[in-house]
Structure 1
Amino acid sequence: MAMKLEHLRSFEAVARIGSFTRAADELFVAQPSLSRQIGALESDLGTELLRRAPSGVTLTAAGEVLLPIARRMLGDARTAREQLDELAGLRRGSVRLGAPPTLCVSLVADAVAAYRAAHPGVELHITEGGSRFLVDALNEGALDLALVVTRSAQPAAPATELIPLLSEELVVVSAASAGERSGAGRRELTLAQLASVPQVAFSRSYDLRVATDAAFAAAGLTPTIAVEGAEMDAVLRFVERGIGVAVVPAMVVIDRPGLHSRRLVRPQLTRTVNLARRTDVGASAAASEMQRIIFEAVDRLATPGTELAQRVAVASRA
Structure 2
Amino acid sequence: MQFQQLAYFVAVAETRHFTHAAEQMRVAQPSLSQQVRALEKDVGASLFHRIRGNVSLTEAGETLLPIARRILAETDTAYRAIRELDELGRGRVRLGATPSLCTGLLPSMLSAFCRTYPGIEIVLTEGGSRDLQTSLSEGALDLAMIVDSRLHDDPRLSMLPLFEEELVVISPKTSPAPVPDAQIKIGDLKGLPLVMFRRGYDLREATVAACRAEGFEPKFAIEGGEMDAVLEFVNAGIGLAVVPSTVVGDRFRMTRFSAPGLSRAVQFAYRRDLEPSRAVRALKDAITRYPDRLPPGAKALGGR
Matched residue, 1:52: none
Q: Which amino acid aligns with 1:204?
A: R
Judge conservation of contact 2:185–2:258 (CA < 8 Å) in 1: yes
Matched residue, 1:164: 161
Q: Secondary structure at the match of 1:87?
A: coil
Aligned length, in residue pairs: 269
The structural deviation recorded for 1:295 is 2.4
The structural deviation recorded for 1:143 is 1.5
Q: Secondary structure at the match of 2:89?
A: coil
Matched residue, 1:115: 113
Provide closer, same or farther for how the CA distance between residues 299 and 4 of structure 1 changes in structure 2, counting only shifts above 3 A.
same
Q: Which amino acid aligns with 2:293?
A: R
The structural deviation recorded for 1:317 is 5.1
Per mean C-alpha deviation after superposition, the further-off stretch among 244-253 and 136-145 is 136-145
Provide closer, same or farther for how the CA distance between residues 103 and 226 of structure 1 changes in structure 2, counting only shifts above 3 A.
same
Judge conservation of contact 1:134–1:148 (CA < 8 Å) in 2: yes
Judge conservation of contact 2:162–2:267 (CA < 8 Å) in 1: yes
The 5 Å alignment of 1:79-228 reads 82-151=80-149, 153-178=150-175, 180=176, 182-183=178-179, 186-228=181-223
- The superposition leaves residues 237-292 of structure 1 with CA deviations (integer Å, 9 ceiling, x where unpaired) of 11111211101112222xx3212211123652221111112222222111111112
Q: Which amino acid aligns with 2:222?
A: V
1:3 to 7, 22, 32: 7
| CA–CA distance in structure 2, aligned partners of residues 252 and 181 of structure 1 | 19
- The superposition leaves residues 105-155 of structure 1 with CA deviations (integer Å, 9 ceiling, x where unpaired) of 12222222222211111111112222232223223222211111134x452
1:294 to 279, 283, 287: 287
Question: Do residues 285 (structure 1) and 283 (structure 2) align?
Answer: no
| CA–CA distance in structure 1, aligned partners of residues 225 and 262 of structure 2 | 21
Q: Which amino acid aligns with 1:122?
A: I
Judge conservation of contact 2:48–2:55 (CA < 8 Å) in 1: no
| CA–CA distance in structure 2, aligned partners of residues 128 and 78 of structure 1 | 29
Provide closer, same or farther for how the CA distance between residues 164 and 241 of structure 1 changes in structure 2, counting only shifts above 3 A.
same
The 5 Å alignment of 1:303-318 reads 308=296, 311-316=297-302
TM-align CA RMSD: 3.7
Task: Give the unaligned 5+ runs of structure 2.
Answer: 38-46, 57-71
Judge conservation of contact 2:177–2:253 (CA < 8 Å) in 1: no
Q: TM-score, normalised by structure 2?
A: 0.74
Provide closer, same or farther for how the CA distance between residues 147 and 81 of structure 1 changes in structure 2, counting only shifts above 3 A.
farther
Q: Which amino acid aligns with 1:275?
A: F
Provide closer, same or farther for how the CA distance between residues 239 and 40 of structure 1 changes in structure 2, counting only shifts above 3 A.
farther
2:258 to 257, 265, 270: 265
Per mean C-alpha deviation after superposition, the further-off stretch among 130-139 and 190-199 is 130-139
Q: TM-score, normalised by structure 1?
A: 0.71
The structural deviation recorded for 1:42 is 10
Matched residue, 1:67: none
Provide closer, same or farther for how the CA distance between residues 189 and 87 of structure 1 changes in structure 2, counting only shifts above 3 A.
same
Judge conservation of contact 1:82–1:93 (CA < 8 Å) in 2: no
| CA–CA distance in structure 2, aligned partners of residues 81 and 263 of structure 1 | 52
| CA–CA distance in structure 2, aligned partners of residues 45 and 109 of structure 1 | 51
Provide closer, same or farther for how the CA distance between residues 46 and 182 of structure 1 changes in structure 2, counting only shifts above 3 A.
farther
